[in-house]
Amino acid sequence: MERSTRHNMQEVVEQGMFVKHCKVEVYLTELKLCEDSNMENVVTRRFSKADTIDAIEKEMRKLFSIPEEKETRLWNKYMSNTFEPLNKPDSTIQDAGLYQGQVLVIEQKNEDGTWPRGSSTPKSSGASNLSALPKISPSSLTNNHNSSYNNRNVKNSSYSLPSYPPYNSYDYSDHARHSEKPGLCGLSNLGNTCFMNSATQCLSNIPPLTEYFLKDKYTDELNEDNPLGMKGEIAKAYAELTKQLWSGKYSYVTPRAFKTQVGRFAPQFSGYQQQDSHELLAFLLDGLHEDLNRIRKKPYIQLKDADGRPDKVVAEEAWENHIKRNDSIIVDIFHGLFKSTLVCPVCAKISVTFDPFCYLTLPLPMKKERTLEVYLVRLDPLAKTTQYKLTVPKVGYISDLCTSLSTLSGVPAEKMIVTDIYNHRFHRIFATNENLSSIMERDDIYVFEVAVNRMEDTEHVVIPVHLREKYKQSGYNHTSTPLFGQPFLITVPRTLSEDKLYNLLLLSLCRHLRCPVEEEESEETVPTKQHTINGNATNGILEEGSPSEMETDEQDDESSQDQELPSECDNSQSEDSVVGDNELENGVGQENSTKGPPPLAGHKKRLFTFQFNNMGKTDFSFIKEESRQIRFDEGHLRLSDRSYLSLDWEPETKKKYFDETVTEDFDKHESMEYKPQKKAFFKLNDCIELFTTKEKLGAEDPWYCPNCKQHQQATKKLDLWSLPPVLVVHLKRFSYSRYMRDKLDSLVDFPIRDLDMSEFLINPNAGPCRYDLIAVSNHYGGMGGGHYTAYAKNKDDDKWYYFDDSSVSPASEDQIVSKAAYVLFYQRQDTVKGTGYFALDREDHEEQRSSSAQGGATQSEEEEEEEEEEEEDLNDNENEEGEEEPEPNHDVTMNTN
């Protein structure tokens, strides 16, 4: 009871090792608990992330009625055939990396002192339990495959680590326990962890870094006291994983412990959501650097501006200052230096600094223009909607869209309103100063021609109109009344009668209304209607005192025809039949005259009723009850998709008079035939050139000018000064904005050999700068998902391989350059193995020389001994010749023996 009561309380849980994130734990973690002897019986319990493994084990002992004297141990079952020991009782659920729905198994010790899942010592060859494998740890990995083991059905067997190795040990699949080439080892996907597998495989195939860890050089440089580091844990975890990948014993391993350690120090990677391989790579490089930083106490260094000093002097000073605080194998391999030049647009102050970098993030050359398909809705209610294909700036405004459309259509740009229609409603109504980036490719953009310039005319208001269908049973429901048709915008005077508004709405809808009479009668009416609409009511606005106002008692043929729009089929109606007393004309029901009087005979009824809605609520503030006059206040001048007029139709009326097919009937402008030329690909050099091009800082990212004493939109230029032995190139394929996230799938053509960076270096004494490709991290798919893989060149056989999670396969060079390439890894040609550039390489060379020298000395000693033996043999032969002469064949035989 105490436990359940405590779990009803919300706890504050800390996340992260050094950067603490305190969160209130609203939902507890649900774990599935079972016994090793009966895994079918699963019991679900909820725990806090702050609960320890020991607390869970106690709960399980109580749950399964295990006596106190019984020794137990806990296992984490996270794959059908893989178990991990939970051997740190004081670890919390969060530290152990347990997640929602995790299966935990409790195991009881047998009466004879053995464990059902095996002990720390190997069993005999006749053992039948596959969990009885040798202890797996970095120092005792073996391949004891006896005949009994090989005959087992490994695939369908349960596998576990037989003892309690260190927490950061790894798990290996049984069917992978055969010899493999070092480095050709896959990584299991733990659930959306392909991003981690891709980045890790690329790092694993960087020869100088891998040699550093395989030869345990990292142990002498672990900096566990660095406040900016991870207490050496990331370096240890990565070292252990690297050793397993290069052990040559497994076709794949499960990097669960490595992921757990990464999640401890970087909470963004702790879950099982898809992440970015480059972001993980950046974290790993920074984490390994701080864990292996040779500088134990970082000195404070005052940064200086160039102040006109020569670049060479400033660059050397910057690098020396960098090395005083940052000195590690990561700096040795990955760090370079670039020059940053900022110029103030006001006072022309020039600021020059030299900054280190660990990787280059290169922008992709993008077209400065984009095409958008939009629909233009004319002011003339009888004109068909027309679809246009516009060319607009990629970084532009809604006003640019209106200008482009005006050029093609002839409609003044200032009389356009741009909207996004979705699901029969206005999803958005754009202001002219909004960014075009807020419009996505899949949006249905409708541009409405309006009668007035809203910026200049304050005597009229533009009202959004939605069409709704009432329910038969009980009127309509405000929240679920179904919308239909296409919404539209209507321009009206700020003061008008209710009848005038209804008439204007009919004018706007006339193209969508049909007459339920004989076809020939309709055909006779159409020309008259066309003439009328294009005559008196072309501006779509009811003006006081105009003939179209329909409040005159004069009988005018043209005027009366103008009012026949609701039925579109009766020329003989009077003007009063349209606007009088909320009624519809008598002639609507003429089709039913032969079958008796129509349902509406004797009274008149409108096609629809209307309601104003403001922020989702019915708004009656504009209607003055005494006169049924409508007056719009200042608030209605602000056009918004949240404030609109709803036209509510009875289902029978809608079915009878409203033609929904008209909405889908539109014309295509000749611009729709235009197909923009797409560039087949870009070269990597194009990206580097763009990276080094001068640019103006954005308004959201200004520079503080020390002269002006304020932030300015300065111009900025980056130049490369020195390059590292291994150059990491991040292609910026993902773009983010407030409204849009997008991925650029352009093909970047990058060289596999002889990437010459000399033309981009401004340092005349930079030295060798030719690079060969050694690894690529790939991303397939779109934003927020997709799949990561890697290509890498094995350092031992110089062949390319494709790493796709647990699968590793040979690859050819012509596969490597693709649209999926995301992060590229290049090694400088003068730093490869055998050149002696790195200390480890020189040590290997010295060892080889000394071993060859020792081998040569041994060989010469053996040769001398052989010569001495031959001389002795010759002397013996001469002595024997002085005595009795033996048989020649016998002497030869003795000598040869």
Q: Is 194 tagged catalytic?
A: yes
Look-up: residue for tokens 């990437």? 755
The secondary structure of 735-766 as a DSSP string is: EE-SS-EEE---EEE--SS-EE-GGGB--TT-
Look-up: residue for tokens 């409405």? 448
Instruction: Please give the C-alpha separations between residue 587 and each of 327, 591, 601, in angstroms, as whole numbers.
Output: 93, 9, 10
- How far is the C-alpha of 892 from the C-alpha of 889, rounded, in Å? 5
Give the Cβ contact number of residue 343 at 10 Å: 19
Look-up: residue for tokens 């499960």? 254
Residues 120, 123, 129, 133, CA torsion sign: positive
> Which residues, in sequence order, are CB contacts of 526 under 8 Å at separation 6+?
568
Q: Is 322 tagged catalytic?
A: no
Look-up: residue for tokens 């106490």? 297
Instruction: Please give the C-alpha separations between residue 168 and each of 53, 94, 97, in angstroms, as whole numbers.
Output: 16, 15, 12
Question: Taking CA 609 as the corner, what is the angle to CA 603 and CA 610, rounded to the nearest 5 degrees?
Answer: 155
The secondary structure of 788-820 as a DSSP string is: EEEEEE-TTT--EEEEETTEEEE--GGGTSSTT
CA nearest neighbour of 236 among 257, 250, 254, 251: 257
Left, alpha or beta for 97 (phi > 0: left; psi -120 to 50: alpha)? left
Q: Of residues 7, 424, 787, 845, which has the active-site annotation?
A: 787
Contact 266, 279 (CB under 8 A): no
Q: Of residues 34, 185, 194, 515, which has the active-site annotation?
A: 194
- Biggest distance spanned by C-alpha atoms of the chain: 164
- How far is the C-alpha of 467 from the C-alpha of 651, rounded, in Å? 12
The amino acid present at 231, given as its one-letter code, is K
- How far is the C-alpha of 621 from the C-alpha of 611, rounded, in Å? 11
CA nearest neighbour of 129 among 143, 149, 110, 109: 149
Which two three-digit tokens encode residue 771?
């690079």
- How far is the C-alpha of 578 from the C-alpha of 561, rounded, in Å? 11
- Element housing 187 (H / E): strand 186-187
Give the Cβ contact number of residue 835 at 10 Å: 14
- Residues 535, 541, 542, 545: what is their CA dihedral angle, to the nearest 10 degrees? -70
- Active site members: 194, 787
